[in-house]
Amino acid sequence: MNTHKTALITGATSGIGRATAKIFAEHGIDLILCGRRTEKLEEVKKELEKSVKVITLSFDVSNREAVFSAINSLPEEWKRALNLLINNAGNAHGLDPFQDASLDDFDAMIDSNVRGLLNVSKAVVPFLIENTSGHIVNISSIAGKETYAKGSVYCATKHAVEAISKGMRIDLLPHGIKVTGIAPGAVETEFSMVRFKGDQQRANAVYQGFKPLVAEDIADAVYYAVSRPDHVQIADITLFPKAQASGTLFERKTD
C-alpha cells in the first residue's frame, strides 16, 4: 500500500480549500489544486511548491466534460499516487424565503454542491480503487443536518452531501476507501460574500457579536481525519464556534 499521500482538493483557491492545501503541504502531502480562478491557483502553487510537489487543474466542478478532461489529463505518475480527495468546492446563493428565492440561485447551488461533488468523485474514484487505498473527505455543513428558514435548497444540497457520503462509505467499503463528512457551522470565509452577492454589510452581520470559526479550523479537522492510522475511519465531524449551539442559535455579544 502506498503510504505517501497525494491529495486532489477542489475549491483550492481560497477559504477552506486553500487552508487545507497549506496544512497538507506542511505535512508533506503532494497537491493537485483545483479551482476556476487560474491566477489564484498559480498563486497558491507558488506559495506551496517550496514544500511539496504541486500541480494545478482549472475547471468548474459543475461542468462534467471539463472535470473529466482535466482529471484524466493528469500525468500517469500523479494518477498512480492519488489517494486523497477533498470535495470542498461549493457555495450558497441568496437567503430568501422559498417563495421569493431565485431559481437561478437554486440551480447554482445544486450544480456546485451536488453535481460538482458527483462529477469530481466519479472522475477520481477509479484511481483510488486502482491504487487500492484512498480517503474521500466531503465538506458538508450544519445545513446538511438541520433545515433552517430561508435556506431550503442550500440545506437540501448539503443534506444530499450527507447522504452521498454515507452511500459512498457503504459502496467503497470493499475497496478499503475511507469516507469522511465534515460539517462546519459558522465559518468566516468568502462564503457569505458569495451568498449575499457582494453585499459586505450583510456578510459582516452574519458573524456580528461572536467569534466564528476560520478556514484553518476546518483544515485542521480535515488533516486530523486523513492522518489517523490506517484502521481508523472518521465518519463524521461537526464543528461549531463556541458561541453556536445549532444551525441558527448563537450567543451574540451586544457591546
Residue 250: φ, ψ to 5°: -130, 150
Locate the DSSP E strands across the chain.
6-9, 30-35, 54-58, 84-87, 134-139, 177-184, 187-188, 213-214, 236-239
Q: pLDDT digits over 3-16, tens only?
A: 799 999 999 999 99
Name residue, grid cell 422559498. Answer: 98
d(CA 60, CA 189): 20
1 pLDDT above the threshold of 60: no
d(CA 131, CA 37): 30
Q: pLDDT digits over 72-81, tens only?
A: 999 999 999 9
Confidence class of residue 172 from pLDDT cuts 50, 70 and 90?
very high
Is 85 within 8 Å of 121 (Cβ atoms)?
yes
pLDDT of residue 203: 72
Is 89 within 8 Å of 66 (Cβ atoms)?
no
Average pLDDT for the chain: 94
Residue 203: φ, ψ to 5°: -65, -45
What does the block give as the cell for 193?
Answer: 460574500
Q: pLDDT digits over 148-164, tens only?
A: 999 999 999 999 999 99
d(CA 255, CA 251): 12
148, 154, 207, 223: which one is catalytic? 154
Domains of the chain: 6-239 (3.40.50.720)
Q: What is the mean pLDDT of the segment spanning 100-118?
A: 97
d(CA 67, CA 58): 9
What does the block give as the cell for 9?
Answer: 482538493
pLDDT of residue 2: 56
At 89, is the secondary structure helix, strand, or coil?
Answer: coil
Torsion of CA 186, 187, 188, 194, to 10 degrees: -90
Which alpha helices (DSSP H) does the chain contain, by range? 15-26, 38-48, 64-72, 76-81, 103-109, 116-130, 152-171, 191-195, 200-206, 215-226
pLDDT of residue 204: 77
Residue 127: φ, ψ to 5°: -70, -40
pLDDT of residue 101: 95
Confidence class of residue 237 from pLDDT cuts 50, 70 and 90?
very high
35 pLDDT above the threshold of 60: yes
177 pLDDT above the threshold of 60: yes
Q: What is the mean pLDDT of the segment spanning 109-115?
A: 97
Higher pLDDT, residue 198 or 151: 151
Confidence class of residue 117 from pLDDT cuts 50, 70 and 90?
very high
pLDDT of residue 255: 66
Verify whether residue 154 is a known catalytic residue.
yes
Give the closest residue to 180 by CA, choosing from 139, 141, 142, 124: 139
Confidence class of residue 200 from pLDDT cuts 50, 70 and 90?
confident
